[in-house]
Amino acid sequence: MEKEKYRIALIGNMNNNFFSLMRYFRDLGHDAVLFLYREDGTGANKHFIPENDTWSYNKWGPYIIHTRITNGKFHRLPNIFIHRRKYQKYFESFDFILGCGFSPGLCNILNKKLDLFLPYSFAGEYTGKNYKTNSYLRNLKYRSVNKIQITGLRKNTRYIGILDFSEENLINYRRNGLMDKIISTSIPMVYLENDLISGKIENDDILEVKEIFKNHYPVILSHVAHVKYLLGWHLKRNDLLIKGFAEFVKEQETSALLVLLDYGDGVPDSKKLIKELEIENSVIWLPKMPRKNLLNIIKNIDLGCGELGGATWGGTGWEFLACGKPFIQNIGMTEDEFIKKTGIPLPDIFLARTEFDVKNILQSVSENKALLDQKSSNIKTWFENYGGKNIARKIIDILTGV
């Protein structure tokens, strides 16, 4: 039983993260309300709408407010200044305000306190220094938004919650003198509904995919977006999974199946690599789909794979964890470093840095299915203790000083 109930405002909903957090808060008895940016669920993020994340939208819809507040678009900032008093009233009756995206800058304009900033972008939204294009005007616009955001983080924000303590993720916070605000916490990105847990919800597409899976072992899913691999570091590194899988299927007779999502501007590059490696017959592509359908797919795979560029897992990893599925990830640090920096144990996942690590992991699970079963059991226990509703509880404890 929670000691006290609070009114909590959540600003923004990238990846449906805050929709999940809102539902967990409400399950704990708090009066949580989700305020959507005008850009939420539009353009490239049109699939990230609450309706795609739940089979019970009518239950949660009354606690969602669609606003005209921009998520940092320069040409829409005047709207915030013009309607400043109106937007101030939005948040007057709340005990706590949590936000992502441009919420620090917004709270600076509105002269409001942002209790917790939970960034969805690597190294934080609108905090970078080296944003440069060939357009002087575009650069000037970004620097203007950046200045408001940094001011909001410095003056209006109590805490910045992250789970990834790699130097790449900390660089902007360190440069802007924000390290004293950093705390270890994450967003419960995935909300599991009871009907999904019990397996009541399935459609024809899911049933068809399940039939395909029955003829293969192991079935490996990566629903990480495919991005163009240009010069320098990048987070996703789908190429390492594809190369490691190719090495695995070429070295031994196997019915393994690699399942990828047709998602991201790097899909043509990944398809080209798969063709060059001559593994097309061992790979299938699924269309981008709502999370409520994707979770049903995840329930029926053997092994997942997250980002291999070197960072703590994001939404894809949380989806595997919520479903109790082991997955491969490069967290960019050792297990001891993870525990020291986050204060929580590492879930029982597979760690990989190279394509050869991926190949060896696939070989080990191919030869020992009991290994996956044990890891699955351990992950379910970990998620009950450190994920989902307990993240929401931890956030309340942080905000109330417990």
Least confident of 78-82, 131-135, 164-168, 358-362: 131-135
Q: How confident is the model at residue 342 (pLDDT cuts 50, 70, 90)?
A: confident
CB under 8 Å to 305, separation ≥6 — which residues? Answer: 220, 221, 222, 224, 241, 327, 328, 329, 358
pLDDT digits (tens, 9 = 90+) for 245-291: 999 999 988 999 999 999 999 999 999 999 999 999 999 999 988 88
Instruction: Please give, one letter per residue, the 3-state secondary structure of the chain.
Output: CCCCCCEEEEECCHHHHHHHHHHHHHHCCCEEEEEECCCCCCHHHCCCCHHHHCCCHHHHHHHEEECCCCCCCHHHHHHHHHCHHHHHHHCCCCCEEEECCCHHHHHHHHCCCEEEECCCCCCCCCCCCCCCCCCHHHHHHHHHHHHHHHHHHHHCEEEEEECCCCHHHHHHHHHCCCHHHEEECCCCCCCCCHHHHCCCCCCHHHHHHHHHHCCCCCEEEECCCCCCCCCCCCCCCHHHHHHHHHHHHHHCCCCCEEEEEECCCCHHHHHHHHHHCCCHHHEEEEECCCHHHHHHHHCCCCEEECCCCCCCCCHHHHHHHHCCCCEEECCCCCHHHHHHHHCCCCCCCEECCCHHHHHHHHHHHHHCHHHHHHHHHHHHHHHHHHCCHHHHHHHHHHHHCC
Q: Select the more confidently predicted residue: 305 or 234.
A: 305
In the CATH scheme, what is the code of domain 194-386? 3.40.50.2000
Dig out the tokens for 226 from the structure. Answer: 């495919």
- pLDDT given at position 202: 61
Mean pLDDT of the chain: 91
pTM for the whole structure: 0.85
CA 172 to chain centre: 19
Q: Domain locations in the chain? A: 7-188+389-400, 194-386
Which pLDDT band, with edges at 50, 70 and 90, does 195 fall under?
Answer: low
Average pLDDT over residues 167-193: 89
Q: Quote the pLDDT of residue 132.
A: 67
* Tens of pLDDT, residues 67-108: 999 999 999 999 999 999 999 999 999 999 999 999 999 999
pLDDT band at 1 (very low <50, low <70, confident <90, very high): very low
Question: Using CB atoms within 10 A of its CB, is residue 85 exposed (0-12), middle (13-18) or buried (19+)?
Answer: exposed
Share of the chain above pLDDT 70, in %: 95
Q: Which residue has the higher pLDDT, 320 or 291?
A: 320
- Name the fold adopted by 7-188+389-400: Rossmann fold (3.40.50)
Q: Residue 402 above 80 pLDDT?
A: no
Query: What is the predicted pLDDT for the residue at 361?
Result: 98
7-188+389-400 against 194-386: fold identical = yes
Rounded mean pLDDT, 40-68: 91
The predicted structure's pLDDT at residue 289:
87
